[in-house]
Structures are given as structure tokens and as C-alpha cells.
Amino acid sequence: MSFARIVATGSALPERVVTNADLEKLVDTSDEWIRSRTGIRERRVAAEGETTGDLAFRAARQALHDAGVKASELDMIVLGTTTPDLIFPATACLIQDWLGANGCAAFDVNAACSGFMYALGIADKFIRAGNAKKVLVVGAETLTRMVDWSERETCVLFGDGAGAVVLEASDEPGVLATCLHADGGYKDLLWNPVGVSAGFKDEKNHGVRINMSGREVFKVAVKTLDSLVGQTLREAGMHEKDVDWLIPHQANLRIIEATAKRLGMSMDRVIVTVDKHANTSSGSVPLALDAAVRSGKVRRGQNLLLEAFGGGFTWASAMVRY
Ligand code: UT7
């Protein structure tokens, strides 16, 4: 049976850096509070007119270039995002045309912060089933577009960015296991209450804006990720000691540290980018992966545990032999 192997990675960030000190001028917060509670020092914010699709396109182009794969060779594009350029067509269709991959399957997956992990899981299944050979998987967001910059509880947490991988069918492993989960019963703890069918204003007449009960989300995230990494190890037939790198969702350094502790991993085996990127939702895991590959930390043949948790709730993971 074919495995889905990551041939190359790519990423893209907006140019504009917004530091914690910048946010001190907007809301009643402090660099000390943000750093100690989240690990975030700065985030990137998309320029006016710069979209999720623009970032996704740049990340995808870099991954395709490094993979030596032409866009016209792709069988499928799966793009995780909760901040698409348009309601439709899917952002995957937009970048398909920009890349010149016209004709292949292209669709978006909305699983909030787990979007990239869901997209990777879907792409892996298509390749394993023999229905696709070359797939572009992207996680891309401009989450700051739905941030209320007067709300200190949320505006300090998020950033914009995109990451991509090119997957290819291979006899060599590859993606070893993927786990995808959701529990819509937790909807109200982390959500954006406006939309096409529900209407573009909520009952308080707010526009598009993230609502989050931070403390509750934190608790469920830690507990859920704890059992998720256990399940991922079991499904991959591996033990904690077999994992070379943990590449977690970058929402909060304290959540990342709890997962590392559960795995018995020291923090020097964990990829951390939350300090520079903040929470980029679907962009976070592939951005961290690309940073780890480009820095030379992650090497061929190593086992990577990727995981994410977000609105829905959704949570998802993958064990990958890089
Ligand atoms: O990616 C999707 C998943 N999302 C997450 O994983 C996020 C999970 N949650 C978290 O990361 C954390 O809960 C937060 C970083 C959001 C908040 O940290 P916390 O340690 O849970 O703080 P808290 O919400 O319990 O708030 C503690 C205090 C409160 O003041 P009082 O009530 O103790 O007087 C808040 O009003 O901190 C206050 N606070 C702030 N102070 C300064 C909240 N936001 C800020 C802020 N600056 N930006």
C-alpha cells in the first residue's frame, strides 16, 4: 500500500509585525501578561487587501518549488481555513487557478484551528486509497480580520500566516497515522456567531468577531490533547520515546508544555513558534513544521507528532515519518 510522504514544505507570513508593546497602546494589557500567560511576543498581521489566498498561494508555491513538483501534476488541493477569501468559490479553487493546477480537485476544510490537520488526514486517505498521487495541503488564515482590537481577552492571541506541504504517494513511510475528532457540544466556548444563513449580525449587533471563554477552552484543550497523543501513539504502534519532535498547535505555550510533559519530552524536542506567530489557527502547525524543516532541526527519517485543537471543538493529529 502507498504511504503519503511529505516531499517539501513552505510557508508565508505577512510583513507587518505587531509586538506586545504595540498592543499595550490599544488595550489595557502588558507585554508581561501576554508573555507569561501565552508565550506570545509578537504576531504578523496581513496588510489591507492581503488575503488568506495570497498567503496560501505563497506558501504553496514555495512547497511546490522545493518539491520539484509542477502545479499541473497535482491531483488535489485541500486547504484548511476558517477565514476564506470569499464565501465561495473555495480559497483552494482560487489558489488552484493562480498556481496553474486547473482541473484537479480543490476544496476547503473548515475545522477552525484543526483545519490543516483535517486537510492532511483527508489527503492521506486519498493517497492511501490510490485515488491521488500528488496532493497539496495548505493551512492558511487571516484571523486578525475577525479580531475585535478593543477586546484584550482575544486581540492579543491571534496572528496571520500560512503553511503548506506537498504529499506524494510512496512505498516509504510517510504519514503513519491520523486521528480526527470533533464535539459540537462545545460550540459556545469558542465561536464566531455570525454567518451566511444565521445572519451577519449577532444578537448584540456585533459584526464578525471571535468569542472565546479562554479559561474553559484551556482546560478542555489540555485534557483532550493528552488523550489525543495517546491515541496517536497507539494507532501508529509507537511509544513516547519513538517521537523525535512534537510539532503542536501554537495557541499557548502552557498548553504546549502540558502536552510535552504528557509525552515525557523535554522542550528542546518541541517546535515552538507561538512567540513569533501567535495563534494562526490552521496556519499554525504547517508554519511550525516549515520553520523546523528550514532550520535543519527536523531531518529525514525522524518521527513527528503533529496535533491541533480548536473551535468546534475540533481536535486532530498525525504521526509522520518525515
Ligand atoms: O486555538 C484555539 C484554542 N484556543 C486556545 O487554546 C486558547 C486557550 N486559552 C488560553 O490560552 C488562556 O485561557 C488565555 C491566554 C486566553 C487566558 O489566560 P488565563 O490564564 O486563562 O487567564 P484568564 O482568562 O483566567 O484571565 C485572568 C485575568 C482576568 O482578570 P481577573 O478576572 O483575574 O481580574 C482577565 O480579565 O487576566 C485578565 N486578562 C488580561 N489581562 C491583561 C485577560 N486578558 C488580558 C490581557 N491583558 N490581554
> Quick one: pLDDT at residue 205?
64
How many other CB atoms sit within 10 Å of the CB of residue 32?
9
Residue matched to cell numbers 502507498: 2
CA proximity to 230, closest of 242, 238, 222, 220: 238
Q: Is the CB of 217 under 6 A from ligand 1?
A: yes
**In sequence order, which residues have a C-beta less than 8 Å from that of residue 240 and are 6 or more positions away?**
233, 263, 264, 265
Contact (Cβ atoms closer than 8 angstroms) between residue 175 and residue 10:
no
Which residues, other chains included, contact 147 with Cβ-Cβ below 8 Å and sequence gap of 6+? 154, 155, 158, 209, 210
**Res. 1 pLDDT band, cuts 50 70 90:** low
Class of domain 176-321: alpha beta
Of 186, 218, 224, 309, which is best to mutate to test ligand 1, by the most ligand atoms within 8 angstroms of its C-beta? Answer: 218
Q: Which residue's C-alpha comes closest to atom 17 of ligand 1?
A: 214
Instruction: Give the atom of ligand 1 at the shortest distance from the alpha carbon of 284.
Output: 1
Cell triple for residue 47?
496588510
Tens digits of residue pLDDT in 268-279: 999 999 999 999
Higher pLDDT, 199 or 67: 67
CB atoms within 10 A of CB 132: 23
Task: Confirm or reject: Cβ of 41 under 6 Å from ligand 1.
Answer: no
Between CA 272 and CA 275 the distance in angstroms is 7
Q: Are 319 and 176 in contact (CB under 8 A)?
A: yes
Is the model's pTM score more than 0.95? yes
Domain boundaries, the chain: 3-172, 176-321
Q: Which pLDDT does position 103 carry in this prediction? A: 98
3-state secondary structure the chain: CCEEEEEEEEEECCCCEEEHHHHHCCCCCCHHHHHHHHCCCEEECCCCCCCHHHHHHHHHHHHHHHHCCCHHHCCEEEEECCCCCCCCCCHHHHHHHHHCCCCCEEEEECCHHHHHHHHHHHHHHHHHCCCCCEEEEEEEEEHHHHCCCCCHHHHCCECEEEEEEEEEEECCCCEEEEEEEECHHHHHHEECCCECCCECCCCCCCCCCCEECHHHHHHHHHHHHHHHHHHHHHHHCCCHHHCCEEEECCCCHHHHHHHHHHCCCCHHHECCCHHHHCECHHHHHHHHHHHHHHCCCCCCCCEEEEEEEECCCEEEEEEEEC
Q: Which three cell numbers stand for residue 230?
A: 495517546
- CATH code given to domain 3-172: 3.40.47.10
Query: pLDDT exceeding 90 applies to what percent of the chain?
Result: 94
Cα–Cα distance for residue pair 287/35, rounded to 1 Å? 20
- The answer to whether the 3-172 and 176-321 domains have the same CATH topology is yes
Q: Which residues are catalytic?
A: 113, 249, 279
In this structure, how many other beta carbons lie within 10 angstroms of the beta carbon of residue 288?
28
Residue 296 CA to ligand 1 center (angstroms) comes to 34
Atom 44 of ligand 1, nearest CA residue = 153
Question: Does ligand 1 come within 6 angstroms of the Cβ of 152?
Answer: yes
pLDDT tier at 292 (50, 70, 90 boundaries)? Answer: very high
Tens-digit pLDDT profile for residues 209-219 = 899 999 999 99
Radius of gyration in angstroms for the set of CA atoms belonging to the chain, rounded to a whole number: 18
pLDDT digits (tens, 9 = 90+) for 136-184: 999 999 999 999 999 999 999 999 999 999 999 999 999 999 999 999 9
Residue entry with cell 484537479: 104
Residue nearest to atom 48 of ligand 1 (CA): 152
CA of 91 to the centre of ligand 1 (A): 32
Q: Is 309 in the pocket of ligand 1 (CB under 6 A)?
A: yes
Cell of 288: 511550525
